[in-house]
Structure 1
Amino acid sequence: MATQLIWRSPSARSLTKASILDSRVSPHNSLTVVLTGWRRCLSTRFSSDVHNGDLRVFSGIQPTGTPHLGNYCGAIAKWVALQQPPRRTDGPSESDALTSPTSRDDAPWTRLYSVVDLHALTVTFDAQRMPSQVHSMVAALLGAGLDPSCNILFRQSDVAAHAELAWLLSCITPLGWLQRMTQFKQKTASARTESSLGLLAYPVLMAADILLYRATHVPVGEDQQQHLELTRMIAMTFNDRFASNRVGGKEVLLKPFPMVEDDITTLGGTKRKSLSRIMSLRDPTKKMSKSDKSVLSRIELTDTADDIRKKMRKATTDAVSGIYYDRKERPGVSNLLDIFSAVTGQSVVQLEAQYANYSTGTFKDSVADAVIAKYVSVVSEGQFADGIAYIVSY
């Protein structure tokens, strides 16, 4: 299908209703800008083809600053890898047989990716910086390899239906379901201020994001699998309560399947392992995060080669000789092995054998060289700035 960068802009407003529904809209630098008319999109593009076996992927990323290595290995690399559709390794259960996509490998794939700025409001944020953070995220996504010729990329808040559906779903979601979410408990426990209703309802908005487009598959890491299962429960509740009586028994909200790590391969066909578990360089017991006060804790995709080498050399390790994987006893070294595996495609076992006798200092340099080879040539500072200028021009 024709690629669309769905973005609110003066050039988008000039499009007519006919042009929105016409897939032959003229591209501008490989990007077709379409008006954010969600009702028309839903009625024509996202409602009729799933039952015919077409597959649809949806995923989102928050615009909370420049993406870092953990973001790339967790979400962005999955999106890039999915530009060559993987073979389906999972299949629908008997209860899903009537509403799930078929498992044929030649089924058409639609990929929808969103910069989820509404989700970013659930934590402390700077309203003045939010627009530039959205632009920075989109520029980084394009620079990191997300091909606008085969993906749909849009800003969440430009589609009012996300918030509208979230409200409708919140009215049928038991409060206890949300209070049992592990992430809510963790964030509430670590919060310096009182948690908001938005933080509690975060999984409902996530469910709306997915169910709105009748996504069949969602790339998820370990920390999001609980939320996706909640999405399926909300969909089943909605269908049980409304669909059977109002639309001839057909399910209105499609229950999505998770795409876990083993379902996603790199462009070269190599299985990607441990890519959602990139930890902080300074505290390898915590995930790499943009909110960490120390810039030494993360490798940002716009870091220079010198920046990367400096951060790697300061990464927390230990005084034990040799290089081997042990998450419990050697979290720092294990984290570096995960990073090395993520950027090279080699398994941790292969890397352990190759670098077994290296000192941690020499090993850090090798990891830094691998990261630099992977990213610096792709997301250079100049490309990043040019990308932002291009996106702002819309």
Structure 2
Amino acid sequence: MRNGSPVHPHFFLDKRLRAFILGLMVLAFLFGFADQVYDRNFERLHIFLFNLCSGGFIIIYHTENTARPSLRCYLFLGLSLLYAVLAFLNLYQGAALLSLLLGVLVESIRIRAFSLVPRDLLAPTVPVSDKFHHASILCLSLALFIATFVLLNDTVLHWLPYKNLTLNVFFLGFSFPVSLITMSVMFSYIRRSLAPPLYLVKQGFFWSVNLGVIIFFLFIIFDLQLAKTLIAVFLFITVILIFGYYLLLGIDVQQKHFLLSGMTFLVFTGITGVFYIVLAKYPEAYKQWGRLLLTGHAYLSLYGWSLSGLLILMRFNDFPLKLNSWLIIGFHWLVIGILAPLGKTDPFIAIAAIICYCLFLHLFFEEKGAGPMSRVSGTGGRTV
């Protein structure tokens, strides 16, 4: 929450709510392999159910910072599910209307929690974790508004003729808000009392990530190959620097283990992203390895990096957890780094990946945390 406010002590403690959101995440993961059973593009359902429905709900629930989700949160969840179905069925005009309504709904929550004009993003005294949080929900509403235009432009308006300005390309933009909320979680576990140079470096990371991704997206729209490669390399270097920064200055709590694993996923996301852009210049190699590389890139980003932050938020009030962190992390890498990408081309590996993914979520949520006593003793709690 902004201004260092503590996360509500009853945030996401409702087991039925947890089960429903985790169910959506499992359903999203399952749809990633559904095209092997039925020859149809399930990628939109796969992405929307994870990024928009699950991730978006967690972002706005966290932004409201209440014991239970408000009616607006549940309205967002219901409308986003309907939006995902309409987009999957190519009912674009209905999806465009829902996208607009969802954008207005998210903005109403953002304005109440932060402000109409996001001036705090420019204020050097505002903690970077708060800036990433505000940027996350702001990007969520902007993504929904832009998606409204993209849907109408692709079907009715035809104002902008760019071949990459389509829903199939743009829906990936819904992963950015989820990535930003994970950044917010991670930076909340970095020491606050830093020397001015280190503090300025942290502020620089915020702008490097946000402006870098926005510029990268524009280069994709305008299909500027060299520029895409350069900005991808810039973002990769930024991720490496953030990883080192967090490794050295992150506070020593259990959450750090999971977030360092998430950052490692993000590092490999950067590597695969650069290689994918370069590989596109070589048609034969791209034909052979392009899909596997892009699939690995997507899984590392969504179910590696972003999922790490979302899971920590969902169990925020349970830490420290009574589980073997490194065993869970190793299993996470097996499922997302190996089984999931290979499962896109082999139905038996896909089944194994789905079973192991469910098992990973079960193991992460199975053990009870230390609960409120850990926050009293100062071992488990932080503000986000």
TM over 0.5: no
More helix by share: 2
More strand by share: 1
Q: Who wins on radius of gyration, i.e. which is larger?
A: 1
Under a length normalisation based on structure 2, what TM-score does the superposition of the two structures give?
Answer: 0.25
